[in-house]
Structure 1
Amino acid sequence: MKYEPTKASLRKHEVPEWFHNAKFGIFIHWGLYSVPAFAVKKLSFSESQNIEEAYYFKNNPYAEWYLNTLRISGSLTQEYHNKEYGEDFSYDKFVPIFNEELKKWKPQEWAELFKCAGAKYVVLVTKHHDGFLLWPSKYPNPFKENYSASRNIISELTNSVKDKGMKMGFYYSTSFDWSFNPEPIDDRTSDMTNGITTPEYTEYVKHHWNELIDDYEPSILWSDIGAPPLLDIFELFAEYYNRFPDGVINDRWDKIFHKDGKVLKMRRTFFYDFTTPEYESYNIIKKKKWESNRGIGNSYGYNKTEKEGDYLSSTELIRMLVDIVSKNGNLLLNVGPMPDGTIPEVQKHVLQGIGRWLEINGEGIYGTHPWERADGKTIDNSKIRFTQTKEIIYIHLLNNPKGKSVRILSLKIPQLSTITLLGYNDQLLWEQDQEDLIINIPENLIESPVYVFKV
């Protein structure tokens, strides 16, 4: 079908099966902010939502917000920067440092790692809020000369990712660009009014999105913070779908109209393929497709102040993935590489752990959809999650069994059902005790982050 630039026409677009089935993707934040690699690590994202706004922005845990935090007087980032680089060392001076380190980058190694981690798609940040471009655009920054990567990161990574059979998507900061607006964001009002609204910036953004779509053919358009009010996003969406009907678009395209630091009105997009809760999840099965995104630690960009204890373990993330998938979501898990493209060992180790589990248990994740309910529990209060395919129910046990059997409360299955444990060949003995299902577990049970029973 041909899509028109109207809400009614765009709403006919259905989320493609590949995105429903993929379940797990990799997010990449890499740029100039990877050189200083600094942010206050005292706050997690969830903690930050319950404190004074000004304090949060001054102590932002996101290393990719380095330029903004640097501009806030008295911030620890400003203190660190002045001590480490000097007060006269501008953010732009990170460009030659990053480009020199970039010579060492090996995109094939990234793609191999992501494939081994079990990811089905990758989303690369092509331009974050600092405005630095990760490709040699035909539409360069009008205020900063050579404000882009010296290698075509987009092209090289896209080719490597697709060679491994994964889909490729692009993040682009559509509303914020601190090379156009030097005013710092230090409270919620300035956060709402920092986006650029000029016709010149709108054209700049439009050219970039069209260039990314035409030259690199992404499967995902991942906007952030909103869009300039003058940008015709429905026209952009229609043109994209007409070229790539199996593409998907996220929900962060809202338009904020503001003048003289005051919000005049906000216009919701009211069209998207999936929502994007950040460092959050949902407690119920959602009818609309969604994708939870987060870092392995508390930052997206590499933050060298974070130590191993600040990162989630592969066990924690596997359990999170299972929970998200049981509720119709995907997990987009971020890696923050060092300036030379090295993915820190702690992040790499986590990805490898997820991959080892998915290699055995992936059939209970990929291509599944939510069951009639997402969760359950055992008699000893161990957590249970459910997924299903057309004829199979997968029971995910999120805790180690405490005996020779597992008693799942309020779960009845057909009398002639067979039960196996993924990773083991033999059928398991089971019985129905009134409303509860009792499954005998193998004697040689190997410890696992999540045990998946196939019914």
Structure 2
Amino acid sequence: MADTLNITAVSSSFDLVKAGTLTRLHPGQSAIVQIGVKNKAGVAAGTSCSGVVTATWGTAYGPPITSTETVSGSCGFGDYTADANSLSLHRSPDWFNEAKFGIFIHWGLYSAPAYGSVAPNEDYAEWYWKRMNDPTFKTQTYQYHNATYGKNFTYDDFISNFTATNFNAESWVNLIAAAGAQYMVPVTRPPTNPYTGAVETYTGFVNVSDFIQDIQLPQQNVLAYNYDTEIMWCDIAGSANNATIFASKWINWARDQGRQVTFNSRCGIAGDFDTPEYRTNGGTVPRKWETNRGMDPFSFGYNYRTPDSRYLTGKDIVQTLVDTVSKNGNFLLDIGPKNDGSIPAIMQQGLQDAGKWIHAHAESIFKTRYWSVTPGLNNWRYTTTQNAFYIHYLTTPSGTITTPDIIPYLPGDTVTILGGSMDGTAVPVTWNSDGTLSLSVSSALQASDKFVWTFKLAYTSTW
């Protein structure tokens, strides 16, 4: 049996619950290993403490190699307080980090007009209420609204058009499951308003803090406590919020129930994860992040002006997911149902096509970790687990392809194709003197899959 790196910890303040292990680590490379500890009886959460961490490397070829280091910090977290510094210690939970793929849903009154113009003047369709009052905005929503509905047709008049006659919650959930998504984030209300900058008659002063305390915070509490929400996805960054009050109470409450919840970086404080919009990161980002975008090229809400040819395809979704996961990100993909509650056929097709690939390659996506060395170059991406290393190739492979990076391969490891019609088939490889790995791709193997070709390197060597 090959050697394994074992990580343990000893302290007068905590007990080791689960040791950490690492199956493969090449010279010059690094990895993140988690261990589980629990405070001893009588040691309160948040108590300052110290311990000795020991790393032991194998015994198969002689005496074990051992390294120790004394560490100090807080043993467990006490109650989070309504303070940004306290909440900065909170991290996105493992379940969220491992879920990788979620579905965003923008469905509201804006789905009735469903207008956001087209390129190069397109804009978020869910901002219709604001744009319909601005005669100078590039989408010409103001002009479109007056010509289509008339100047006296208010935003509230769209209520009668928001029929939901074809809404079926079960079909939505079934589609999301077929797509391979592990969570969903329905939008309760977008950050839109009809303000145009025009001078209005004075009607009395209402302190902004009254709105935050009397409306915004209670609405967040309803979502958090009445619906067992696990993700609070805000879009209210800035000073106009009570994020510290809300988040501290919510996190403490959920923890006492044995649940782990998380919130994003747009609630007014740093949050647990960042949220780049309509873009991904160019490289690995150690802090957790989640890219979000619509299947529409520039809208979250449904925009009837967008031609089918511009929606994300199954291939687009899969390649974005693989790229994102390899860099420590999650992918939150939005769908915009129509006013009648139906999901456009072009969106359904893209999700179903992507889902077939995702389900067939699930082990290389979900519950994986990014490779801390590099996410990969050009058409190459990597993900890892305790016992395997996954090589993703983002275009159709042909002949012999060679990794641009030194791969954690040892003679005796098995390399197979993952997914497709040849799932589990051995792939001939050559371990090169520079540490790279060459894979021989037959024409049959090339034709066996689509979107992304994934090779599974299983750590089976006893070398």
- Do Structure 1 and Structure 2 share a fold, with TM-score over 0.5? yes
State the Cα deviation string for residues 14-71 of structure 1 (Å, max 9, x = none).
321110100000000000110010112214xxxxxxxxxxxxxxx4511001111111
Distance in 2 between residues matched to 1:11 and 1:225, nearest whole Å: 18
1:126 CA displacement: 0.4
State the Cα deviation string for residues 302-329 of structure 1 (Å, max 9, x = none).
0000011221221122111111101100
Pair 1:454 & 2:461 matched: no
State the Cα deviation string for residues 64-88 of structure 1 (Å, max 9, x = none).
0111111111442112111211111
Pair 1:128 & 2:201 matched: no
Choose the corresponding residue for 1:20, options 92, 97, 105: 97
Partner of 2:143: 79
Distance in 2 between residues matched to 1:129 and 1:9, nearest whole Å: 27
Q: Summarize the alignment of residues 131-170 of structure 1 with structure 2, pairs less than 5 Å apart.
A: none
Q: 2:314·2:350 contact (CA, 8 Å) conserved in 1? A: yes
Partner of 1:318: 318
Partner of 2:415: 419
Give 2:351's aligned amino acid: L
Give 2:151's aligned amino acid: E
Partner of 2:79: 2
Give 1:251's aligned amino acid: S
1:447 CA displacement: 3.6
SS in 2 for 1:87: coil
Distance in 2 between residues matched to 1:279 and 1:286, nearest whole Å: 17
Give 2:295's aligned amino acid: I
Q: 2:327·2:370 contact (CA, 8 Å) conserved in 1? A: yes
Pair 1:91 & 2:105 matched: no
Pair 1:293 & 2:303 matched: no
Q: Summarize the alignment of residues 334-413 of structure 1 with structure 2, pairs less than 5 Å apart.
A: 334-377=334-377, 383-403=379-399, 405-412=400-407, 413=409
Indicate how the Cα distance of structure 1 residues 353 and 418 shifts in structure 2: closer, same or farther if over 3 A, else same: same
Give 1:429's aligned amino acid: P
Q: 2:233·2:267 contact (CA, 8 Å) conserved in 1? A: no
Indicate how the Cα distance of structure 1 residues 14 and 253 shifts in structure 2: closer, same or farther if over 3 A, else same: closer
Indicate how the Cα distance of structure 1 residues 232 and 79 shifts in structure 2: closer, same or farther if over 3 A, else same: closer
Choose the corresponding residue for 2:251, options 229, 238, 241: 241
Distance in 2 between residues matched to 1:3 and 1:74, nearest whole Å: 46
Distance in 2 between residues matched to 1:431 and 1:185, nearest whole Å: 67
1:104 CA displacement: 3.0
1:290 CA displacement: 0.3
State the Cα deviation string for residues 186-229 of structure 1 (Å, max 9, x = none).
9xxxxxxxxx9351354110110111112111010011032553
Q: Summarize the alignment of residues 231-310 of structure 1 with structure 2, pairs less than 5 Å apart.
A: 231-245=241-255, 246-254=260-268, 269=269, 271-297=270-296, 298-310=298-310
Q: 1:373·1:386 contact (CA, 8 Å) conserved in 2? A: no
State the Cα deviation string for residues 214-258 of structure 1 (Å, max 9, x = none).
2111010011032553x432121111101223110001123xxxx
Choose the corresponding residue for 2:113, options 27, 32, 36: 36
Give 1:92's aligned amino acid: D
Distance in 2 between residues matched to 1:408 and 1:340, nearest whole Å: 49
Instruction: Among all aligned residue pairs of Structure 1 and Structure 2, give the percentage whose two residues are the same amino acid.
Output: 34
Partner of 2:208: 197
More helix by share: 1
Distance in 2 between residues matched to 1:111 and 1:185, nearest whole Å: 41
Distance in 1 between residues matched to 2:89 and 2:182, nearest whole Å: 25
Q: 1:374·1:387 contact (CA, 8 Å) conserved in 2? A: no
Indicate how the Cα distance of structure 1 residues 197 and 8 shifts in structure 2: closer, same or farther if over 3 A, else same: same
Number of matched residues? 358
Q: 1:118·1:355 contact (CA, 8 Å) conserved in 2? A: yes
Partner of 1:329: 329
Choose the corresponding residue for 1:104, options 163, 166, 169: 166
Give 2:248's aligned amino acid: A
Give 2:405's aligned amino acid: S
Indicate how the Cα distance of structure 1 residues 417 and 63 shifts in structure 2: closer, same or farther if over 3 A, else same: same
Q: Which runs of 5+ in 1 are unaligned?
A: 44-58, 131-177, 187-195, 255-268
Distance in 1 between residues matched to 2:122 and 2:238, nearest whole Å: 23
1:373 CA displacement: 3.1
Partner of 1:150: none
SS in 2 for 1:204: helix
- Greater shift in the superposed pair: 215-224 or 366-375: 366-375
Choose the corresponding residue for 1:65, options 119, 122, 127: 127
Q: Which runs of 5+ in 2 are unaligned?
A: 1-77, 199-206, 458-463
1:10 CA displacement: 2.1
Indicate how the Cα distance of structure 1 residues 225 and 238 shifts in structure 2: closer, same or farther if over 3 A, else same: closer
State the Cα deviation string for residues 345-390 of structure 1 (Å, max 9, x = none).
111111001100011111110001111333435xxxx610011011
Indicate how the Cα distance of structure 1 residues 185 and 329 shifts in structure 2: closer, same or farther if over 3 A, else same: farther
Pair 1:223 & 2:234 matched: yes
Q: 1:202·1:228 contact (CA, 8 Å) conserved in 2? A: no
Give 2:94's aligned amino acid: E
State the Cα deviation string for residues 260-287 of structure 1 (Å, max 9, x = none).
xxxxxxxxx2x31000000011112111
**Larger RCO: Structure 1 or Structure 2 (Cα < 8 Å, ≥ 6 residues apart)?**
1
Distance in 2 between residues matched to 1:407 and 1:3, nearest whole Å: 49
Partner of 1:184: 196
Distance in 2 between residues matched to 1:410 and 1:366, nearest whole Å: 23
- Greater shift in the superposed pair: 16-25 or 313-322: 313-322
Give 1:409's aligned amino acid: P
- Greater shift in the superposed pair: 442-451 or 344-353: 442-451
Distance in 2 between residues matched to 1:299 and 1:40, nearest whole Å: 10
Distance in 2 between residues matched to 1:349 and 1:107, nearest whole Å: 18
